[in-house]
Amino acid sequence: MVKVLKIGGSSLGNKRRVRNVADIIANSWSEGVILAVIVSAVGGITDQLLNCAHTAENNGELAKEKINKIRRKHFDVFAEELKEETTLDQVNRLLDELKDLLKGVSLVRECSPRTLDLVLSFGERLSAFLMTALLRHKGLNAEYVDARDLVITNSNHGNARVLKDETYNWIQYKINKPKIYVITGFIGSNKDGITTTIGRGGSDYTAALFAAALDSESIEIWTDVDGFMSADPRMVKEAFVLPQVSYEEAMEMSFFGAKVIHPQTLVPAIAKNIPVYIKNSFSAKMPGTLISPEIGRASCRERV
């Protein structure tokens, strides 16, 4: 059996949240299951990396300070895991690589879209690597997967289009054992192996690609709200959770700005008829929202 979970950055903002998520992953695992866990960057880190890259174009020293802030955030959130030497070494190596890259940006005083994608990739590479270490500490059989080896895209940096057939072949080749694979969301690479990103919020889409390639029984999107809501709860106080919505309704809402899922997410899910659940990582017992072929308007009307 294959299951796919996606953990959003909003669920990785601090130590307590990260531990919560590790419990959710542990509870989803059972003997014989292939569990693909797609992980976003720690909350706010993608924006900070973006800011670092642009700062480096004008002020290399300030960019270095900003990298140190990113470093401190990871050391704060994953404090326990970073006590282990091999994990610490690997994270330091990644952060040094990021520093060198931004040094290069500050020398040429320009960050091209291609370089920016490489800079942004560090967010998901750090979080997925550290989440793997956390799960291993819990005694789980977890493997870190860099999606750049599997998700093949065109070269439209910043918003690359995924080449479905190649990507599905790589995913099926790599993800084939009953264990927990912790996979970087959002990033891929072009045919020459150059790092690309698939659009802001794109980890949801990464999860759907893995689910479709592996004929997963479901996709669970773990986020910071109780489900798909009638409106953005940050804007509309009266917004309520929709227990069930159709693929069509969910797609429409996400295209019109419901950030809770990336607009492209449902395309691979619909092709394989895979149900998508939106769940709150802060209250895992809440039922959340089921997005499936069935029409959910009735559940909407009942509440109005």
Task: Kindly give, in sequence order, each residue whose CB lies less than 8 Å from that of residue 145, ignoring residues fewer than 6 positions away.
Answer: 128, 174, 175, 181, 182, 183, 184
If binding is defined by CB under 6 A, does position 233 make contact with ligand ADP?
A: yes
Closer residue to ligand ASP in complex, CB, 9/227: 9
Closer residue to ligand ASP in complex, CB, 203/281: 203
Closer residue to Mg ion in complex, CB, 181/222: 222
Contact partner at residue 71 from ligand ASP, Mg ion, ligand ADP, none, CB < 5 to 8 Å by partner kind: none
Q: What are all long-range contacts of 108-116, with beta carbons under 8 Å and residues at least 24 apart?
A: 109/57, 109/58, 110/57, 111/53, 111/54, 111/56, 111/57, 112/157, 113/157, 113/158, 114/155, 114/157, 114/194, 114/195, 115/53, 116/50, 116/53, 116/157, 116/158
Closer residue to Mg ion in complex, CB, 242/261: 261
If binding is defined by CB under 6 A, does position 188 make contact with ligand ASP?
A: no
From the CB of 54, what's the least distance to ligand ADP, in Å? 22
If binding is defined by CB under 6 A, does position 46 make contact with ligand ASP?
A: yes
Shortest-Cβ-distance residue relative to ligand ASP: 203
Contact partner at residue 233 from ligand ADP, ligand ASP, Mg ion, none, CB < 5 to 8 Å by partner kind: ligand ADP
Q: Of 260, 269, 274, 290, which lies in the binding site for ligand ADP, with binding defined by CB under 6 A?
A: 260
Task: Kindly give, in sequence order, each residue whose CB lies less than 8 Å from that of residue 38, ignoring residues fewer than 6 positions away.
Answer: 4, 5, 6, 7, 147, 183, 184, 185, 203, 206, 207, 210
If binding is defined by CB under 6 A, does position 167 make contact with ligand ASP?
A: no
Interface size with ligand ADP, residues (CB under 6 A): 19
Closer residue to ligand ADP in complex, CB, 236/271: 236
Q: Of 22, 134, 229, 269, which lies in the binding site for ligand ADP, with binding defined by CB under 6 A?
A: 229
Closer residue to ligand ADP in complex, CB, 188/263: 263
Sheet of 289-292: strand order equals 142-145, 180-184, 34-39, 2-7, 219-223, 276-280, 289-292, 244-246
Q: Of 201, 202, 275, 288, which lies in the binding site for Mg ion, with binding defined by CB under 5 A?
A: 201
If binding is defined by CB under 5 A, does position 185 make contact with Mg ion?
A: no
3 state SS for 17-84: HHHHHHHHHHHHCCCCCEEEEEECCCCCHHHHHHHHHHHHHHCHHHHHHHHHHHHHHHHHHCCCHHHC
Which residues of the shown chain bind ligand ADP in the complex (CB under 6 A)? 8-11, 40, 201, 223-225, 228-229, 231-234, 253, 258-260
Which residues of the shown chain bind ligand ASP in the complex (CB under 6 A)? 9, 40-41, 46, 123, 185-186, 200-203
